[in-house]
Chain A
Amino acid sequence: MQPFIRHTGIAAPLIKDDINTDQIAPILHSRGLKEDYRAMLFHRARRREDGSEDSDFVLNMPQFRNAGILVTGENFGAGSSRESAVWSMLANGIRVIVAKSFADIYRENCLQNGLLPVVLGAATCEQFIARVVAADGQASFTVDLVTQRISGPGGPDLAFEIPAADRTRLIEGLDDIGLTLKHVDEIASWEARAQTVQPWLQSARDSR
Chain B
Amino acid sequence: MMQQTLFDKIWGFHRVARRADGRDLIYIDRHVLHELHAHHAFAQLQKQGRPVRRADLTFAVQDHTVASKLGRDDNTNPSGSAFIKAMREGCRINHIRLFDVDDPEQGISHVVAPELGIVLPGATHAVPDSHASTVGGVGALAFGCGTSELAHILASQVMALKRPKNMRVQLDGRLAVGVSAKDAALRVIAEIGVAGARGHVVEYAGAAVRAMPIEQRMTLCNLNIEMGGRSGFVAPDDGTFEWLARRPFVPQGAEWDRALRYWRTLTSDENAGFDREVRLDCTTLEPQITWGTDPSQVVGISGSVPDPAALEPGRRAAAASAFGYMDLAPGTPLLGLPIDRVFIGSCTNSRLPDLQVAADVVRGRHVAEGVIAMVVPGSSSVKREAEAAGLDRVFRAAGFFWGESGCSMCAGGNGDRGRPGERCVSTTNRNFENRQGPKVRTHLASPATAAASAIAGRIADARHLAPGTA
Contact = CB atoms under 8 A, between A and B. Distances in A.
A112 B57 contact: no
Interface stretch (A23-31, A62-70, A132-140, A143-151): A23-31
A207 B144 contact: no
A199 B21 contact: no
B334 interface: no
Select the residue from A26, A81, A182, A208 with max chain B CB neighbours within 10 A. A81
Contacts, number: 191
A81 B122 contact: no
Interface in A66-118: 74-75, 78-83, 86, 101, 103-105, 108-109, 112-113
Interface string A179-196: 111111011001100100
Interface extent on B, as a size class? Answer: 35 or more
Given A83-B146, A179-B19, A20 B432 contact: yes
A166 B20 CA distance: 11
A205 B118 CA distance: 9
Contacts of B22: 163-165
A18 B195 contact: yes
Interface string B235-254: 00000000000001111100
Contacts of B259: 198, 200
Nearest to A206: B248
Given A78-B195, A200-B255, A204-B118, A177 B151 contact: yes
Nearest to B145: A81
Given A103-B198, A187-B157, A204 B30 contact: yes
Closest 7 CB pairs of A and B: A165-B21, A112-B148, A200-B251, A83-B146, A109-B146, A83-B147, A75-B195
Interface of A: 16-18, 20, 22-23, 26-27, 29-33, 44, 49, 74-75, 78-83, 86, 101, 103-105, 108-109, 112-113, 163-166, 168-169, 176-177, 179-184, 186-187, 190-191, 194, 197-208
Contacts of B146: 81-83, 86, 105, 108-109, 112
Select the residue from A31, A105, A112, A190 with max chain B CB neighbours within 10 A. A105
A177 B51 CA distance: 12
A55 to B, nearest CB: 19
Given A180-B158, A183-B25, A203-B56, A23 B152 contact: no
B50 interface: yes
Interface in B135-161: 144-149, 151-152, 155-158, 160
Nearest to A103: B228
A33 B249 contact: no
Select the residue from A16, A44, A108, A168 with max chain B CB neighbours within 10 A. A108
Contacts of A49: 420, 439
Contacts of A20: 294, 430, 432
B447 to A, nearest CB: 22
B151 A74 contact: no
Contacts of B149: 108-109, 112
Select the residue from A17, A168, A204 with max chain B CB neighbours within 10 A. A204
A207 B79 contact: no
A32 B27 contact: no
B57 A44 contact: no
Contact of A187 (B16, B20, B83): B16
